[in-house]
Amino acid sequence: MSPSEFVFLACGLTLGLFAGGALIEVFRARPAAQREVRVTVSAGPAGGRAATLSTPLLASELVRGRDDVFAPMTQATERPFGPATREPTREPASRSSSTLAPAFGSGPGTAHAEPLDPCAAERTSTDETCAHADRMAVVAGAARERARAARRAYDEHVGRRDQAAAAVDPRAIRAAKDEAQAQFRRGRLAGQDRAAVEAAAAAWLREINRINARSREAALIMSREAGLEVELLRAAEKAGLDVDVARIRSENAADACRNARIALASCEEAERLGSAAPEPVTPATSPQLAPGDEAAVEMPAAAGEDVAILRLLRGDRATMRSIVERLGGSDPDGQRRWQLLVSDLVDAIVARAIDASALSFPEDHVFWGPYTQSECREIASAMAALGYRFDGLGGFADGRVPSQRDLSLALGYAGEDPMRVRRWPTEADMPALFRDVRVDAGRYLADAAGGLTMGEMVDLLGRRAEPLAELWNAWGRVRPLLVDTP
C-alpha cells in the first residue's frame, strides 16, 4: 500500500466518524412520539354540528348532546333480564328504534320548526322567472345593437357604392370634361399673352387627369364594394332575424314574469286578508283572489267614494305617510324606499292619464266652454299628436306653444268645425290655454283599472310599469293599502 492510499483511507475513516456522531446527536435530540386520541362528539343520530373536544359548544348543544349520547346507555342498563338466561330481553324493532331516537319536540335546546311561508313556491317561481326575463331583455338589447350595427355597415356600403357609381357614370365624366374644356376656352379668350394661354391649357390638362384618376379610383371602389355587398346584406338580414327571435323570447319571458308576479300578489293578498290561497293563475286568465276577497277590496268607481290611491293622486301627504309607515315599519331606510316606489307609481299613473288626455276642462273658458268634456279631450289629443302636449301643470310640455293655425288643424283632426270658434285665442293667450285644465287621474284609473290588480296596472302603465318591478313583487302587500278607505 502506498502512502497516498493510506492517507486517503485515514481521511475517509475520520469523516465517517464525524458524520456518524452527528446523526446520533440528531436522533437523540428528537422528542419522543406522543400518543393522542381524538374524539368527535356529535349532537345525535339525526345530525347536528360536529365538533372535537377542543371545540367550544353552545349551551343548547351541550344539553342536547348529553341527552342524545347518554340516553341509549341509560336505556340499555335499565332493560330487564330474563330469569333463566340473564340475557337482555329482546324488544320489537319498532319500540327499540323509537326509544333510541332522540326526541326533538320538547326539552331545553330543542330546535323548533319555523312557520312555513304559504307563498314560498310562488315567490321562488317569481324570482327565477323574472331573473330569466331580465337576462332575455339583455339578450334582446344586445341583438338590437348588433342589428343596428349591421344595418349601419350596410348603409355606409350603399353610400360608398352610390357615390362611386356616380363618379364612374360616363355621362358625369363627359359633363366634367366638357366643363373643364369650357373653362379652358374662357381662360384662353381672357388671356392677354402666350403665358396666360399656356397656364389655362395646363389647368385644363390637370383637371382632365384629376377626372380620369377619380374615375379609376371609383371603379376600384365599385369592384371592392360589389364583393362586400352580398356579405353585408346577409349579415344585416341575419341580425334582423336574430332580433325577432330575441324579441319573441324576451316578450314570452316578460309575460311569464308578469304572470308569476300576479300569482304571487294574489297569494300574498289572500294570505294577508286571511283567506285561502288562490288557485294558480294561468297566462290566459285574469288573476283572481279567493271568492269574496276581490269584491271586498275592489277600488270603487262611483263618484264620492274615496280610497287611498285616489287620495294619493290628489297629493294627500297624510295618506302617503300612513302607507309608507305600514310598508316600511320603523326602518327609516325602508320608509324612504317605499315612499320613492309609491311616488313613482303615482307619477306614472298621472303621466299615463295625460297621455290618454284624461283631463277636466273648465266650462266657463272662452275656448273650451262651447265644447263638451269629451270633445275637449279629442281636441287635446289632436294637439298632442301635433306635438303640443299638456304638461300637467297648466302649460305646454317642452315649451312648445301652438299657433292659431296649429289649433285650427287640431280642431279639424278632432272632427270639429273651426268656423264654430267664436273667439280664437291670441298669440299672447295661447300659452295659457291649459291654465285651468286639470288631470283627472283618479277617474281615469277607476275606469281603466278599477280592480287595481297587477295585470290591470301593468296594462294601464305600459312601458312605465317596467321601472316598478320591485313594487310589483310586493303588490300583494301594497294593493290592500291602496284600496283601503279612511
pLDDT at 383: 92
Helices and strands (H, E) in the chain, number of each type: 16, 4
Please, which pLDDT band fits residue 102 given cuts at 50, 70 and 90? very low
Mean pLDDT across the chain? 76
Only one residue has cell 313594487, namely 471
How far is it, in rounded angstroms, from Cα 416 to Cα 412? 5
Mean pLDDT throughout 285-294? 35
Is residue 204 predicted with pLDDT exceeding 90?
A: no
Q: Domains along the chain?
A: 121-272 (1.10.287), 298-356+443-482 (no CATH), 359-439 (no CATH)
**Per-residue pLDDT for 83 more than 50?**
no
pLDDT on residue 205? 85
- The pTM assigned to this predicted structure is 0.52
Q: What are phi and psi of 368, to 5 degrees?
A: -80, -25
In the chain, what percentage of residues exceed pLDDT 70?
74
Q: How far is CA 247 from CA 139, 234, 465, in A?
A: 9, 20, 18
Q: What is the mean pLDDT of residues 115-128?
A: 81
> pLDDT higher for 158 or 463?
463
Element (H, E) at 439: strand 438-439
Contact 207, 180 (CB under 8 A): yes
Highest mean pLDDT among 37-51, 184-198, 431-445: 431-445
Task: Average the pLDDT over 301-325 and give the result.
Answer: 81
Q: What string of H, E and C letters represents the secondary structure of 344-409?
A: HHHHHHHHHHHHCCCEECCCCCCCCCCCCHHHHHHHHHHHHHCCCCECCCCCEHHHCCCCHHHHHH
**Separation CA 111–CA 107 (nearest Å):** 9
Query: If DSSP codes are grouped into helix, strand and coil, which group holds residue 303?
Result: coil
Comparing 7-21, 327-341, 345-359, 401-415, the range with the smallest average pLDDT is 7-21
* pLDDT value, residue 277: 39
184 against 30, higher pLDDT:
184
CB of 299 within 8 A of CB of 483? Answer: yes
User: Which range has the top average pLDDT, 24-33, 260-269, 315-324?
Assistant: 315-324
**Residues 43-53: what's their mean pLDDT?**
48
* Cβ–Cβ under 8 Å, residues 308 and 481: yes
Q: What is the pLDDT of residues 322-373, one digit of tens each?
A: 999 999 888 889 999 999 999 999 999 999 999 999 999 998 888 898 899 9
Q: Is the pLDDT reported for residue 305 higher than 90? A: no
Q: Which three cell numbers stand for residue 220?
A: 376600384
Taking Cα atoms as reference points, which of 447, 448, 450 lies closest to residue 298?
450
